[in-house]
Structures are given as structure tokens and as C-alpha cells.
Amino acid sequence: MHCHDLGIKIDIPPEARMIVLAGNPNVGKSVFFNALTGLYVDVSNYPGTTLEISHGKFGPDVVIDTPGVYGISSFNDEEKIARDIILSADVVINIVDAVHLERDLFLTQQVIDTGIPVVVALNMLDEAVRQGRQVDVDLLSDLLGVPVIPTVATQKKGIEELKAAVSYARSGHIDHELHSKLHLLHDRVGNQGEALLILEGDPIVAERHGIKPGNDREEIYLMRRARVNDIVGHVVRQTSQGASMGTVLGRLMIQPLTGVPILAVFLYAMYKFIGVFIAVDIVNFTEKIIMKEKYEPFVRALVGHYIPQKTALGTILTGEFGVLTMTVTYILGLLLPLVIGFYLALSAFEDSGYLPRIATLTDRAMTGIGLNGRAVIPIILGFGCVTLATIVTRLLGSERERRIAVFLLGLAIPCSAQLAVIAGLISRVSGAYVFLFALTIFTVLAVAGTMLNRFLPGESTDLLIDLPPLRLPRIENVLKKTFTKSYNFLAEATPLFAVGALLIGILQVTGLLDVLQKLLAPLTVGWLGLPKEAANAFIMGFVRRDFGAAGLASLPLSEIQTIVGLITITLFVPCIASLLVIFKERGRREGLIIWPAILSLAFFIGGLVAQGFRLFGSVYAVIGAVAVILLAAVIIGKMPKPGNTSPIDQNVKQRSSV
Amino acid sequence: MFNDCPKKKAGPVFILCPTCHNKMQDLTLLRCPRCFAQLYKTGCDGNCNKCEGKK
């Protein structure tokens, strides 16, 4: 009967049914095939291909296996073969992976749309339960309109029930609109399945009937996808019952009530590792003992043989901000250990599957400032080195998000070098002032992000991220990623640090550094309420951010002056290397907007706090004022943007892996 | 739907699913409707404001 239509030789007795096994790749079709046919199997080669088709007897009927496919079409040889065999079938047994229901049900619905009687074997149900997915099998059967038999083929569970179900296979539910279109074409073509494929634009099937192929494929696919997503939304429930510990922990990590404390624990561990062990113990050894006590005197002596240090060239090369001294000390003594430490931690988070969960957890907060959860990566890195973080903003999904992230990194994220000195200065003031400092920086971040989100044109991208299963990070992977990323960063950033040091050296030898300090003095005294020597600290902050904070530490300051100075230096322009990276990443035009904007904001906000204290006379009143501003920013952030329309996206935003 | 790159940079612009080779012209799709894989764009390098695929 059918053997010649298919182009392969399969003997099918006249009364026998042709039962076809169909399913996506790697769902376990061969296990079912063996269970149905036993040991008596024949293999035929499909003409013109290297593909072999297995077929065997199941009682009086013939079972034919098909290649694993995502749909039936003419896209490739496997799908052409599957198409021809399925269209000739009397019954299709569709094997579906319960763990990947969203993916596999597309083929199920497409086969149902052909009108051929179907039985669905819902396989790997045990694995789905382990991943915390409960599937309502009866509801799935109702919605599809075909029998659905739960199976665990590797344990032979459900096989007998499946064999019995073949007798009551039936045609399932088809979308009304599609059904009408099929009905019109069916009379001409004589076969519903072929009519469907002609509508979907299959050129080979269309040519058989002398009809022009349709161009509705994309529309039909999207409609079928929407239907499948809707079915999955109804039948799948996330639950902890039976789920593995990794699945439960992974779920707890993305829910705010449990996720935030878990994140706090990991961030504290990260702070202990990077902020204490590396930034203090390791850097103390590398920067002070190796670089400052051994390397710098050696280089100064070496260069001094040829170029006297007191000359302009000598100062630029080996002076206080020398290209061969400060730059190399900074990169190898301070930056390298910190960058390695940060990348070690981030690579471990990434390899364990925790990093995408941090992105998911923080996504809602990030959308208020025009970013999505993915931006948590450069922000975490920014606490290590803003230059590094600015480069990493390349991974964000749109120009708009990169623009916002670069501005916020430059404005409000203190790097680790700065943080160490800030921590020392903060210890001199009482708790209320510490709180004022942290609240002000956080408020600036929130307000700046909210305003950028509202006024920058365009929309930011949604977070679409796969959540892989949680696992212990593999040491080899972590070390490989750390080495590659650290090396790439240093290769890119070292020339920028060198150019930055060169520029500062030129400013120093030409006396312009002193001129800048004198120019800033009225601002620091009148507006910020600080001693005029604080201007030196700000200029030093431009060279290296920790120099700026350290410069403040040497001045006799009151508590409010310490906080005003710290707020200003934290918000102050990033170091010159970061500035050069901003110009490189964002272009000259944007760089020339970002730089003076940050500079102005730093002084403006520092001065606002100083003037606020002068006006109210109490740190608590200033805290209250800042809190009100923060609240206003949060409210404005929640308001819909004018002229905002829903995104076109026809796919459901998924948070579980496929 | 967009058939041609308006800037004539790349000819017909489409998304090719890396998993099932489904071709799509709706450049706003994030996942292949057929096999649910995440999508890549081919035929242009993005970063232009002339069509919805500008990202």
C-alpha cells in the first residue's frame, strides 16, 4: 500500500495499520520502538540520503520509526522523510519530553493539525518531577484532544498503557481559523495533512498538486506557538514536591524574600575574599613590598643613569605619576590581584549557574533605572574597577542600556581602590553620618538612573536568560575563564593607563596641575564647605580614585566635612583610564557630555548636602530630605513612560531553561 | 515583517534558527516559534535605526 509512495520498500499487509513514531531529537523514540517491535526489526535506506528508517511488526500492524525532527517540512532531509512517513500514517505515536514540553508540543500540535489520529507518550516524567515540574496529564489530554500516556521508558513504565492506547488514538483539536483555511484547500488536495503543508509553504508538496505554495508559514507557526505556550501555562506547575535540592535552592535564589538574604551572604563572602584577603593582604604584598620597595627604586635607578629624574622627561617616566613607575605599580601591584579576584568570583558564580539567577533576582529593580538584570554583572565588576566594568557593558542588549550603565558606573560606583580608603575614613564618623553617605550615593544612583530611563529615547531590552541547573563550579572552567578574561582586560586597559599617566605627568611638569588646584579652591571652600587643600584631593582623584580619598584622610575635617568630601570624591569623575575607556566605548561626543555632567553633579550634590546641613543644622534632617528624594525617584520610576506601548513580543518571557 | 534591509546593506534580512533552520522575517522574535531556541540574526550587523531589527 504505502511503500512505493514513501520511496522505500516496506511490506505492509492490507489489513495492517501503519503506526509511526514521531518526536523531537533525543526524546527516546528508539526505546519505544524496541518496546513495541521486540527484536524483529528491519532497516531501509531512504533514497538519495544516508538516512536509515527502522520498521518492525507490532501485532498485525507495522511500526515505522522516523528521524527526530522539530517539525514536518522541507527544511532538511530528516524533515522531508518524517513528513512523507507521517502523512502516510494511520496512527502517530508522538513521543514528548516532559522536561521540554514548550519545545516538543509544537510538533505534537502540527501533527494534530494534519488530522491524523495521535497518541502522545509523555516521557521522562520522573526527570520533570526532579526539576520541580508537575504536569497535569489529564488536562493536557483534554486541551490537545488526544490520549496522553505518562511514561518513563527507560524503566518500562507506561509502555503497556501506551500499547493499549494505540487503539483509541484520535484526531485532536485544531485552531478554528486554521481549520477554516484547511477546509477550503482540503477539497482540492484531498488530504488534510498535505493541505496544511501547502498552506505552510512547502514547495515539494505544493508541486505534487500543481498549486502555488502558501506564504502563511510564519503566521501559522506563531499562532501554533501561542497555542502551545497557552497549553503549557495551564498544565505545568512549579512545585518543590519531589524536586532535587538543587532545583529547590535555584528557585529560592530568584524569589526576593529568600533570594536577597542568599545574595547578601554570597556578597559578604565575596567582600571577605576580595575586599579583605586580596585588597589588603595580597595587595599589601604586591603593591608595597614588591612594586614600591623593589621595582620602583630599581626602575628609577636604571632610567636615572640615562635620563635625570629632575627633568621633564624623567618626571614623566619615573616621577610621582610616572609611566614606568606609578602605572606599572598600579597595574601589576594593585589592579591585577583585584581583577583576578573579581573574575574568580564571577566565573565561579557563572559556572555554578548562580549568576543568571542574580540577574533574574535584580531584574525588577534594574528596570526602574532603564537596565535589566544582566547589568548586575558590570555593576559588580565596577566595585572592582570601573575601567573593567565599562568595557564589560558591551554585553548589554542595546545602545541605550550601555549608555545608562556607563554613566552610572562613572558617577556612582566606587572602585575597590577607593572603597578601601573610604572604609578607613568612614570609621572616623558616627553611624548617622555613615548612613547619610550610603543613602546619598544610593539616591544619586536611583535618581540618575530614573531620569535617564525617562528621558533617553527608545526602550531597553527585556531580560531573556536561560537558568541552567545549579551545580558546584568546576575548577578547570573557573580558572580558564579567569585567566582569559583577566589577560584580555589587561591587554586592553594597560595602554590606556599608560596614556592616562602620561597626560597627568604632562600636566604636572607644565604646572597645569597646580593651576587646576587653585581654580577649584573657591568651589571647595564656598560651596562644599571644605578646606582649600581639599582641591588637591579632587585633582588626585582624577589620577587615581584612591589617591583622592587618601588626600582627604590627611586633612583635619569635621564629621559633616568628611561625609561631604567622601560624597564628592565618590561621585567625582572616574580615574583617567576609565575616562579614556568611556571615550573609546561611547565615542567622543558622548564622552564630552558624560565627563562634564559627572563633574558638575559631583560638586552639585556634595554642595547640596553641605548647604542642607548648614540650613537644617542636623544630620537627621538631611537624611530625611535625601530619603524624600529617593522616594520621589522610586515613585517616578514606577509611573508609565508617556507614549509607552506594549512590546510586540509574541513569546512568553521564559525563566526556565529549555 | 521586513523583507529587505532598508539601508540596502545586507539584502533580505531574516533570522535563521540555529537549531531547526526555521527562517523568520519577524526580526523582533526572541525565540524560534518552532523549536523554542534563542535566536540569532543574520544578514546584517545591527546597530542601525532603519528597521525593527536595529538592536
Query: Among the three residues A243, A274, A291, which one is the final residue of a domain in this structure?
Result: A243
| Domain-embedded: residue A650 | no
> In the predicted model, what is the mean pLDDT of residues A450-462?
85
Question: Could you tell me which chain B residue has the CA closest to the CA of A656?
Answer: B36
Asked if A651 and B31 come within 8 Å (Cβ–Cβ), the reply is yes
Contacts of B30 in chain A (CB under 8 A): 462, 464, 649, 651
Pair (A235, A303) in one structural domain:
no
- What residues contact residue A309 under an 8 Å CB cut-off, 6+ apart? A300, A303, A315, A318, A319
Interval A193-230: pLDDT, tens = 999 999 999 998 999 889 899 888 999 999 999 999 99
From the list A159, A38, A21, the residue with the least C-alpha distance to A95 is A21
Cβ A158 vs Cβ A151: under 8 Å = yes
What pLDDT was estimated at residue A642?
66
A548's grid cell: 583622592
B10/chain A closest Cα distance in angstroms? 21
Cβ distance A76 to B36 less than 8 Å, yes or no, reads no
Residue A158 falls within a domain, yes or no? yes
Confidence at residue A121, expressed as pLDDT on a 0 to 100 scale:
97
The chain A residue lying nearest B24, using CA atoms, is A218
Q: What are the distances in angstroms from CA A441 to CA A164, A294, A438, A506? A: 68, 38, 5, 33
pLDDT tens string A284-299: 899 889 999 999 999 9
| Subunit contact B28:A654, Cβ cutoff 8 A | no
Residues of A in contact with B35 (CB under 8 A): 24, 70-71, 103, 106
Contact A106 B26 (CB under 8 A): no
* Residue A221 to chain B, least CA–CA distance (Å): 6
* Domain final residue pick, A243, A274, A302: A243
The predicted pLDDT at position A654 comes to 37
| Least CB–CB distance from B20: residue in A70, A102, A654 | A70
- A513 and A430 in a common domain: yes
Nearest to B22, CA basis, from B9, B10, B39: B39
**Helix/strand/coil for A124:** coil
Of B19, B26, B29, the CB nearest to A70: B19
- Count of CB pairs separated by less than 8 Å, A with B: 59
Q: Which of B28, B34, B55 lies nearest to residue A649, judging by beta carbons?
A: B28
Q: What is the mean pLDDT of chain A?
A: 86
Which of B15, B16, B20, B49 is the best residue to mutate to test the A interface, defined by the most A CB atoms within 10 Å of its own CB?
B20
Nearest-Cα distance to chain B for A531, in Å, is 48
Q: Using the beta-carbon criterion (under 8 Å), do B33 and A397 form an inter-chain contact? A: no
CB contact under 8 A, A651 and B30: yes
Same domain assignment for residues A60 and A108: yes
Q: Residues A216, A222, A225, A227: is their CA dihedral positive or negative?
A: negative
Residues of B in contact with A224 (CB under 8 A): 33
CATH number at residue A102: 3.40.50.300
Reported as a pLDDT band with limits 50, 70 and 90, residue A417 is: confident
Decide if B34 and A399 are in contact by the 8 Å CB cutoff: no
Q: Rounded to 10 degrees, what is the CA torsion of A342, A345, A349, A350? A: 50
Is the confidence at residue B49, as pLDDT, over 70? no
Residue A654 lies in a domain: no
Residue A25 is given by DSSP the state: T
Average pLDDT over residues A92-100: 95
Dist CA B8 CA B25 (whole Å): 16
Q: Are residues A227 and A296 in the same domain?
A: no
Angle (deg, nearest 10), helices A431-455 and A576-616: 120
Same domain flag for A310 and A201: no
Q: Is the pLDDT of residue A3 over 70?
A: no
pLDDT of residue A2: 43
The CA-based dihedral angle spanning residues A498, A503, A506, A510, taken in that order and rounded to the nearest 10 degrees: -160
Q: What is the pLDDT of residues A248-276, one digit of tens each?
A: 898 899 999 999 999 999 988 988 888 78
Contact flag A106-B55 (C-beta cutoff 8 Å): no
Residues A217 and A293 in one domain: no
Spatial CA neighbour of A337 closest among A486, A478, A474:
A486
Assigned domain for A648 exists? no
- Confidence band for A646, pLDDT divided at 50, 70 and 90: very low
Among A132-146, A459-473, A521-535, name the one with the lowest average pLDDT. A459-473
- B42 vs A: CB within 8 A: no
Average pLDDT over every residue of A541-559: 78
Contact state of B33 with A103 under an 8 Å Cβ cutoff: no
How much is the pTM?
Answer: 0.69
Same domain, A114 and A237: yes
Domain ranges of chain B: 1-44
Residue B6 distance to chain A (closest CA, Å): 20
Domain shared by A500 and A454, yes or no: yes
Q: Is B9 on the interface with A (CB under 8 A)?
A: no
Distance between CA atoms of residues A310 and A296, nearest Å: 16
**Domain range spanning residue A82?**
3-243
pLDDT score at B7: 59
Q: Work out whether the CA dihedral A423, A425, A429, A435 comes out positive or negative.
A: negative
- CB-CB under 8 Å, A397 with B20: no
Model pLDDT, residue B38: 77
Residue B32 C-alpha, separation from nearest chain A C-alpha, in angstroms: 9
pLDDT at residue B1 above 70? no
B41 touches chain A (CB under 8 A): no
> A177 in a domain, yes or no?
yes
Name residues 11-40 of chain B within 8 A of A (Cβ): 19-22, 24-26, 28-31, 33-38
Contacts of B29 in chain A (CB under 8 A): 649-651
Residue A405: the pLDDT is 94
* Structural domain count of chain A: 2
SS3 at position A10? coil
Same domain, A567 and A483: yes
Q: For residue A293, count other CB atoms closer than 10 A to its CB.
A: 11
Identify whether residues A239 and A258 lie together within a single domain.
no
Q: Would the pLDDT of A594 be above 80?
A: yes
Question: C-alpha cell of B29?
Answer: 522574535
In angstroms, rounded to a whole number, what is the distance separating the alpha carbons of residues A462 and A237? 24
Could you tell me if A26 and A119 lie in one domain? yes
Q: Do residues A338 and A484 both lie within one domain?
A: yes
